[in-house]
Amino acid sequence: MTTSGQPPLFRAKDHDQPSVFKVENLIREARRQRGLKIVDVPEVCLLDPDGDTVRHLRDTGAATRLADWACYHSELWLTEIAGRQIGIVPCAVGAPYAVLVAEQLVASGCSLIISVTSAGAITPLGPAPYFVLIERAWRDEGTSIHYLPASEWSHLLQRLADGLADAFDGLDEPVHSGSSWTTDAPFRETAAAIGRAERAGIHAVEMEAAALYAFAEATGCDVVCVAHVTNSMATSGDDFEKGEANGTNRILALTSAIAQALRLT
């Protein structure tokens, strides 16, 4: 047997061929095994990698768990903001898990996925905390390569960027537009790697956006990724502070603004 000596990740991925393992079949079997009803999830769903938003809403009685969410690996919670029901999946952290959940959300009726993830500052855009609407993400992770051929960046779909042009006026926390570095290994953010990211014009480091945007481009799904810059990688103390209620109210206001701009009713 001969091999190229190259890791499988960098070999052909047959992007034009369908997967044998289908998300619809996984959902079908989860329903069968667990005796779940067939239910649709809300049109708009939020990925909450830290889980802080769901914990706050749960503890204050403002969210309920969707018992018939047919996912083996996650919970889905329901809440209402500005008269709109949204779904929230907590702790969807890291590129593979975020895309695994995104696939199942879309197959279950979601048409707009919003990810708001804690991020570290690379090139600061102001005093933390603040939000960065990720327009492009550096593909330093392994999931996106399975959805799109190799390239340096994944991008927010242009039609979504256009729709969000004036969406954030009046929010309590600044929302900048910028670039992120998506990594699978947050504890390998060396000084040299950070320097390369700075030279690439990157503003924040996170763990999901490049993969979610590759998934969106490959499938035509609507995905918006936002970095919530809360830290300088714990190098100076007093990091990871999101504000009152762990930033829940501001994150929900941001989510509502995105949903309103892209899903006008």
pLDDT tens string 130-177: 999 999 999 999 999 999 999 999 999 999 999 999 999 989 999 999
pLDDT tens string 228-243: 999 888 787 777 888 7
pLDDT bin (cut points 50, 70, 90) of residue 265 is very low
Does 21 have pLDDT greater than 50?
A: yes
The owner of tokens 């690379």 is: 122
25 found inside a domain = no
Indicate which CATH number applies to the domain containing 68.
3.40.50.1580
pLDDT tens string 138-149: 999 999 999 999
2 found inside a domain = no
**Whether the Cβ atoms of residue 94 and residue 184 lie closer than 8 Å to each other:** yes
Q: Rounded to two decimals, what is the model's pTM?
A: 0.95
Q: Helical H runs in the chain?
A: 23-34, 52-59, 95-107, 158-163, 191-199, 209-219, 248-262
State the residue range of the domain holding 228.
39-91+98-262
pLDDT bin (cut points 50, 70, 90) of residue 227 is very high
8 found inside a domain = no
68 found inside a domain = yes
205 found inside a domain = yes
pLDDT bin (cut points 50, 70, 90) of residue 2 is low
213 found inside a domain = yes
Looking at the chain, the whole-number percentage of residues with pLDDT higher than 70 is 98
Residue/partner pairs of 66-70 with CB below 8 Å, 24 or more apart: 66/39, 66/41, 67/36, 68/31, 68/36, 68/37, 68/38, 68/39, 69/36, 69/39, 69/41, 69/108, 70/27, 70/30, 70/31, 70/34, 70/36, 70/104, 70/108
153 found inside a domain = yes
Question: Number of folded domains in the chain?
Answer: 1
**Whether the Cβ atoms of residue 146 and residue 104 lie closer than 8 Å to each other:** no
Which pLDDT score, from 0 to 100, does residue 234 have?
78
Q: What is the mean pLDDT of residues 199-216?
A: 98
24 found inside a domain = no
